[in-house]
């Protein structure tokens, strides 16, 4: 007789059969992908903190969650009204206000409402904790771009020994003019390379030294321990470039059809010392680098250079006043002599570099105001009776700088001049000048989808954003008025990742930053150019022309094409100087913006 299955077993078999044959519910459709942009370094606890959501369509009202490192939700935020389209793919930019996030820690923003997105991580903390490391990285960039025998970068040997007896040439009338030696020689060894090439400029070096010394003077506990030595390295070179009343503007030349210069061959700097060349050889000026002067001996000096170089020397005097009065007085006399040589009748034809269009400066009252202010402050520190006279000059030149529309840049130091003159005499017109500039910038930022005062891209883009951040912070430190604080935080955030490409334009800052900078030392040694500020996105035509003209790339990374706009592009490729070249002035401007954030 057959055994009958137990009723329980029959029931289980029936359930299993039914469950196996029943149709399964369709999976939930994936949410459309969006992108969340943040300041990848982070925000201080009390700052206004705005992340940006790039979405295929308007995401206003969507709920996003801030999570900590363990994934625990800590804050829910609702996307605000769209600020407009970014490009054809991302047709809405919605702000996410994270200001209520005040507990120190590391976070991300996640979105799973109508769209799906997750931000890079960012931190909340005090200014020193967040931004002191970036200050140290800025100094590291300068160290890695030292020229001469005094090297701190173990990747390289000393370079350009022939600069110790460099030949002075007359400034050529046009780019293709032959170079004519004057017969004079100077010691131009040392200093820093201006950018991704090996040119050395008085114009940009003086700007960098002014900023570095302001950070050293006012930076407090956040000052890097390496900064003082780097300042000394730069000042030593600048002193060599002002000899017997003659100011020299640069070492090296860009090159033309007749000869090769610093832009015409990728190599390590020490390779120039091994070139076996004589006069007439096309590479002669890569080894025996020409020096140019700002004016003929005995002639007055272009006032922009006289003002900013004098400011650099006078700041050195301020720093040494309490520890080495002999050196301080020597620097003060050098500054005073140079300042007195300024050609104050000069028009718009100002001397900067050869060719001038490398750095086409249009104003000089700001440089003279800054130079006079630093002379007055140094004079006060050293008990010099000329301090009152310099104070009057500083105020007079500051009065002539009003009405500008730019923040701090290598071309316009009015924000620094106003702040330094205000130390001498807190005159309301100085604050009014900065307010006028900042008000214009706030209006420009309000019209941009990402809230950037400098728009979506262009020349010196990251430095201009950081210059606006520094200008807002200088105004707040001058007056105690914080009405531009949120604007300044937003401009810094754009440079550090809260932009359409989601890219930090400071190498080593955040999770996503350029991997292939247009920098010969970094590319050829394979070492990161940590601390460097690159240009960032530039006009589409400029980027495309370089990609088309440049030979094969030594380094190129992932494409950012889906974030490009009709008017602006970014390419992470060492060929494309328009987006990926770092420079002294970019990095110095960033250093000041970070120092002011750290101090606040």
Segment 217-243 shows an average pLDDT of 97
Q: CA 62 → CA 48, 57, 93, 229, distances in Å?
A: 20, 11, 12, 51
Going by pLDDT thresholds of 50, 70 and 90, the confidence category of residue 30 is confident
Q: Which residues sit opposite 116 in a β-bridge?
A: 33, 112
Segment 336-360 shows an average pLDDT of 92
CB atoms within 10 A of CB 176: 9
- Residue 523 and residue 554 in contact, taking contact as beta carbons nearer than 8 Å: yes
- Residue 512 and residue 486 in contact, taking contact as beta carbons nearer than 8 Å: no
The single-letter DSSP state of residue 270 is G
- In the three-class reduction of DSSP (H, G, I as helix; E, B as strand; rest coil), residue 175 is classed as coil
- Residue 83 and residue 95 in contact, taking contact as beta carbons nearer than 8 Å: yes
- Residue 505 and residue 513 in contact, taking contact as beta carbons nearer than 8 Å: yes
CA-closest candidate to residue 485, choices 165, 49, 129: 49
Q: Per residue in 454-498, pLDDT tens?
A: 999 999 999 999 999 999 999 999 999 999 999 999 999 999 999
Going by pLDDT thresholds of 50, 70 and 90, the confidence category of residue 19 is very low
* pLDDT higher than 50, residue 11: no
* pLDDT higher than 90, residue 2: no
- Predicted model pTM: 0.94
Segment 187-201 shows an average pLDDT of 97
Sequence-distant (≥ 6) Cβ neighbours of residue 542 within 8 angstroms: 578
Q: How many residues does the chain have?
A: 600
Angle at 250 between CA 177 and CA 579, to 5 degrees: 90
Find the distance separating the first CA and the last CA of the chain, reported in whole Å: 93
Torsion of CA 555, 558, 564, 567, to 10 degrees: 0
Burial of 422 (0-12, 13-18, 19+ CB in 10 A): buried
Residue 534 has a pLDDT of: 98
Tokens 């990848």 belong to 40
H/E/C letters for each residue in 540-558?
A: HHHHHHHHHHCCCCCCECC
For residue 522, the surrounding DSSP H or E stretch is helix 520-525
- In the three-class reduction of DSSP (H, G, I as helix; E, B as strand; rest coil), residue 2 is classed as coil
Main-chain dihedrals φ then ψ at residue 50, nearest 5 degrees: -120, 115
Sequence-distant (≥ 6) Cβ neighbours of residue 198 within 8 angstroms: 147, 159, 160, 252, 262, 269, 272, 520
The single-letter DSSP state of residue 59 is -
Burial of 557 (0-12, 13-18, 19+ CB in 10 A): middle
Q: Per residue in 302-340, pLDDT tens?
A: 999 999 999 999 999 999 999 999 999 999 999 999 999
Q: Per residue in 68-97, pLDDT tens?
A: 999 999 999 999 999 999 999 999 999 999
């Amino acid at each position: 007789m057959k055994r009958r299955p137990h009723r329980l077993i029959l029931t289980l078999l029936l359930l299993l059969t039914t469950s196996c044959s029943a149709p399964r519910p369709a999976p939930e459709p994936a949410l459309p992908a969006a992108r969340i942009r943040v300041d990848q370094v982070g925000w201080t606890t009390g700052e206004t903190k705005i992340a940006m959501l790039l979405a295929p369509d308007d995401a206003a009202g969507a709920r996003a969650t801030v999570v900590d490192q363990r994934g625990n939700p800590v804050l829910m935020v609702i996307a605000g009204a769209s600020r407009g389209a970014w490009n054809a793919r991302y047709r809405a930019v919605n702000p996410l206000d994270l200001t209520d996030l005040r507990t120190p820690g590391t976070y991300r923003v996640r979105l799973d409402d109508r769209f799906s997105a997750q931000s890079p991580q960012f931190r909340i903390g005090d200014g020193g904790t967040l931004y002191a490391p970036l200050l140290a990285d800025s100094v590291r960039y300068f160290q890695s771009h030292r020229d001469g025998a005094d090297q701190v970068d173990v990747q390289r040997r000393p370079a350009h020994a022939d600069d110790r007896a460099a030949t002075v040439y007359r400034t050529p009338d046009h780019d293709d003019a032959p170079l004519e030696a004057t017969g004079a020689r100077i010691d131009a060894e040392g200093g820093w390379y201006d950018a991704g090439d090996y040119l050395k400029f008085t114009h940009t070096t003086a700007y960098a030294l002014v900023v570095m010394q302001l950070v050293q003077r006012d930076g407090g506990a956040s000052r890097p321990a390496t900064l003082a030595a780097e300042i000394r390295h730069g000042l030593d070179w600048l002193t060599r470039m002002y000899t017997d009343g003659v100011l020299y503007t640069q070492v090296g030349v860009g090159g033309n059809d007749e000869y090769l210069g610093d832009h015409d061959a990728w190599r390590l700097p020490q390779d120039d010392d091994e070139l076996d060349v004589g006069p007439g050889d096309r590479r002669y000026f890569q080894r025996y680098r020409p020096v140019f002067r700002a004016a003929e001996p005995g002639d007055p000096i272009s006032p922009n250079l006289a003002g900013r170089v004098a400011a650099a020397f006078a700041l050195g005097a301020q720093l040494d006043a309490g520890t080495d009065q002999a050196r301080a007085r020597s620097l003060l006399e050098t500054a005073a002599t140079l300042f007195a040589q300024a050609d104050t009748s000069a028009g718009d034809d100002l001397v900067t570099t050869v060719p001038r269009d490398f750095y086409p400066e249009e104003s000089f009252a700001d440089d003279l105001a800054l130079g006079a202010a630093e002379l007055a402050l140094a004079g006060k520190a050293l008990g010099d009776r000329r301090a009152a006279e310099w104070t009057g000059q500083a105020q007079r030149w500051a009065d002539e700088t009003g009405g500008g529309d730019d923040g701090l840049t290598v071309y316009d130091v009015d924000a620094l001049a106003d702040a330094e003159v205000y130390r001498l005499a807190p005159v309301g017109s100085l604050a009014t000048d900065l307010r006028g500039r900042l008000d214009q910038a706030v209006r420009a930022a309000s019209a941009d989808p990402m809230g950037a005062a400098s728009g979506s891209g262009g020349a010196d883009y990251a430095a201009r954003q950081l210059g606006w951040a520094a200008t807002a912070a200088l105004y707040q430190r001058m007056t105690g008025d914080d009405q531009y604080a949120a604007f300044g935080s937003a401009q810094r955030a754009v440079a550090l990742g809260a932009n359409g490409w989601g890219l930090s334009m400071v190498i080593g800052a955040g999770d996503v930053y350029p991997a292939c900078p247009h920098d010969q030392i970094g590319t050829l040694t394979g070492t990161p150019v940590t601390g460097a500020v690159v240009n960032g996105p530039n006009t589409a035509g400029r980027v495309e022309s370089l990609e088309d003209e440049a030979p094969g790339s030594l380094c190129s990374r992932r494409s950012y094409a889906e974030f490009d706009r009709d008017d602006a592009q970014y390419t992470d490729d060492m060929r494309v100087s328009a987006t990926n070249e770092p420079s002294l002035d970019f990095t110095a401007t960033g250093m000041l913006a970070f120092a002011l954030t750290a101090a606040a």
